[in-house]
Structure 1
Amino acid sequence: MLWIPFTLFAAFLQAWRNAFQKQLSQDLGATSVTLARFILAGPIAAIYLWLLYRWQPSQPLPHFSALFASYIVGAAICQIVATALMVRLFQLRNYAVGVGLAKSEAIWAAILGVGFFGTLLSPLGWLGVVIGSIAVGLLSGLRRITGVVSPKTLLLGVASGLTFALTSLWVREASLLLELAFPFSAAWVLLLVISLQTILLVSWLAWRDLPSLTGLIRRPKLTALVSITSCLGSIGWFSAMSLESVALVKTLGQIEVLFTLLISAYYFKAKLARHDHWGLALIVIAAICVMWA
């Protein structure tokens, strides 16, 4: 059951990372804001892995294969695309709607996991995934799609959720392929994915958009907050997904929307609607379903 506290920890930090990313997106483009997520995360991930080996020095080093490398590359690229799409959502809609659309990740993870990755979900697990998806829709205001959420916003949200789901599924497959003790496999995958993402984004911005790269340097505090909360949250996500199926982890992780609403209310001074109470109740029910499953 260790996946449960790891997931809750990750969801809490991801809510704050999204809040900091929203602030940064007001002045910078989607690519540079996406880089802020990874730019300091590599050294943190390396220190985390080093501390694990200091704690258990008898643990072996991993053996990498071509299949493992393909999972790492796929996960790295998909997470970059998903994050850039979500940052674009922040610029189109309010904070809660953007996060809510991106959280379609859970239902995509269930569908793709069962269809292509050999994931087995019990009826109770499916019930939790469906209830959680409905809850996210209520909490993010998607019940009033007509005239509120444009087709472009809806398409970006679905695409973000789909690419986040693919990222998570490939991360889990890569962790399982290493066959190391917990949490070493997740720590290796985290370090390799983040390092590749940083190299790709820095190279792209240095080539195509140097001002955006220097823009991050001019906002060191906010960039650091995005990067630190992102890396710590990823430690939680990667660890949880190495222990349990992505669909269940991401459904429980929808508790992030609760944290998001609280941040919206107290940090961004947004007003909460009445239907938020129903959404929160459904989130709790979904969480209970997946934990029992």
Structure 2
Amino acid sequence: MLWIPFTLMAAFMQAWRNAFQNQLSKEVSTAGVTLSRFIYAPPVAAIYLALLYLFKPAAAPQLSITFVGLVLLAALAQILATALMVVLFRKRNYAIGVGLVKSEAVIAAILGALFFGAALNATAWVGVIIGALAFWLMTNPKSLKAASLDTLLIGLGSGLAFALTTLWVREASLVLGLPFPHGAAWVLLLVLMTQAIVLGGWVAWREPDTLKALLARPGQVLRISVLSCLGSLGWFTAMSLETVALVKTLGQVEVLFTLLISARWFKEQLSLRDLAGLALIVVGAVCVVLA
């Protein structure tokens, strides 16, 4: 049952990371906000891996082409997912943006059932339907005619990219074949290194002023990177022990953390419709877990 505390830790860290990224999104570009979660994270992951080998020695990993491909796919998918999430923050307020991204849990359950042999029963499908209703409530504040299609598509796109990230991360951990928790730690380090190199190089080439802006905010960026690394550590470790659908649906408690942060820190006012949507996301997640 170790996957449960790792998942709760990940949800808590991710809620705070999203809050700081939302704040940074008002000051730098989408690419810069996305890079902020990766720029200082690899050293933290490297220290964690070194401590694991110090206190619990294990074999060195054998890197296959399949493993490298899964790491690359996961790294690129997470970059895309984060960029879409930042765009979403600029379209709606913080809590609703995160709520839309939480479509990740439903999408992961569907993809798992279709392509990873994790079939859904009736209770799980009820959860999927409730989740869909929640997203409709949160993206249509007035009526169907006033539907914000672009907001819905961006939120679902971010959720899809995050879902693919987690599915590929789990597969990479299983392919590596190392004991718990070393496999997840190696995947974490290699994914973060890939993201820092790829996105960091792109930003340095195309948006040098953005890179300067990040380096001018070392404390803010460091907080985001460390929280992101700790959150990913929790997700990757939990998913090496349990299926993605269960981990991500339990991880929906992040919505509750988000509500508290949104109300107390950002002083945002949520409508009854928004609160109903967020509550339904949690109900849908519970249904999938119970299934």
| Runs (5+) with no aligned partner, structure 1 | none
Q: Is the CA contact (8 Å cut-off) linking 2:67 and 2:175 kept in structure 1? A: yes
Letter in 1 for 2:197: I
Paired with 2:168 and 2:205, the residues of 1 have a C-alpha distance of 28
| Equivalent residue letter for 1:150 | S
Cα deviation, residue 39, structure 1: 0.8
| Letter matched to residue 60 of structure 1 | A
Q: Which residue in the other structure is 1:104 paired with?
A: 103
1:115 is displaced (CA, Å) by 1.2
| 1:116 maps to 2:142 | no
1:224 equivalent to 2:222? Answer: yes
Sort the Cα spacing of 1:248 and 1:8 in 2 relative to 1 into closer, same or farther, 3 A: same
Q: Residues 55 and 212 from structure 1, CA distance in 2 versus in 1: closer, same or farther, beyond 3 angstroms? A: same
Native 8 Å contact 1:251 1:287 kept in 2: yes
Asked if structure 2 preserves the Cα contact closer than 8 Å seen for 1:34 and 1:84, the reply is yes
Post-superposition CA distance 1:192-222 (Å, at most 9, x none): 0000000001111111111000100111111
Counterpart of 1:234?
A: 232
Matched, 1:251 2:226: no
User: Which position in structure 1 is the counterpart of 2:48?
Assistant: 48
Which residue number corresponds to residue 190 of structure 1? 188
Q: Shift of the alpha carbon at 1:240?
A: 1.1
For residues 60-85 of structure 1, the C-alpha deviation after alignment (integer angstroms, 9 at most, x for no partner) is 11111111111000000010011001
Distance in structure 1 (CA, Å) of the matches to 2:177 and 2:118 = 18
Give the corresponding residue for 1:6: 6
User: How far apart, in 1, do the equivalents of 2:152 and 2:289 lie?
Assistant: 30
Q: What's the CA shift for 1:6?
A: 1.1
- Note the aligned Cα RMSD (angstroms): 2.1
Inter-CA distance 273–141: structure 2 relative to 1 (3 Å threshold): farther
Structure 1 residue 106, shift from structure 2 partner: 1.1
Q: C-alpha distance in 2, partners of 1:94/1:277?
A: 13
Structure 1 residues 251 and 90: CA distance shift in structure 2, 3 A? same
User: Take 1:151 and 1:228, find their aligned partners in 2: how far apart are those partners?
Assistant: 34
Instruction: State the shift of 1:130 in Å.
Output: 4.3
The answer to whether the Cα contact below 8 Å between 1:77 and 1:197 also exists between their aligned partners in 2 is: yes
Alignment of 1:204 with 2:202, yes or no, is: yes
- For 1:75, the equivalent position in structure 2 comes to 74
Residue in structure 2 matched with residue 25 of structure 1 by the alignment: 25
Partner residue, 1:39: 39
* Partner Cα separation in structure 2 for residue 5 and residue 148 of structure 1: 41
Q: Distance in 2 between the 1:8 and 1:134 partners?
A: 25
Q: Are the aligned partners of 2:77 and 2:164 in contact in 1 as well (CA < 8 Å)?
A: yes
Instruction: Say if 2:104 and 2:160, in contact at 8 Å, map to a contact too.
Output: yes
Partners of 2:129 and 2:54 in 1: CA distance? 42
Indicate how the Cα distance of structure 1 residues 167 and 180 shifts in structure 2: closer, same or farther if over 3 A, else same: same
Partner of 1:62: 61
Q: Aligned residue pairs: how many? A: 291
Query: Which segment drifts farther, 87-96 or 111-120?
Result: 111-120
Asked if the contact 1:125/1:248 (under 8 Å) is kept, the reply is no
1:171 to 2:176 alignment:
no
Which whole-Å CA distance do the structure 2 matches of 1:49 and 1:269 have between them? 38
SS in 1 for 2:118: coil
Instruction: Determine the C-alpha separation between the residues in 1 that align with 2:164 and 2:257.
Output: 24
Alpha-carbon distance, 1:248 to partner: 1.7
Is the 2:123–2:287 contact (alpha carbons within 8 Å) kept by the matching residues of 1? yes
Give me the TM-score of the superposition, normalised by structure 1.
0.91
SS at match of 1:9: helix
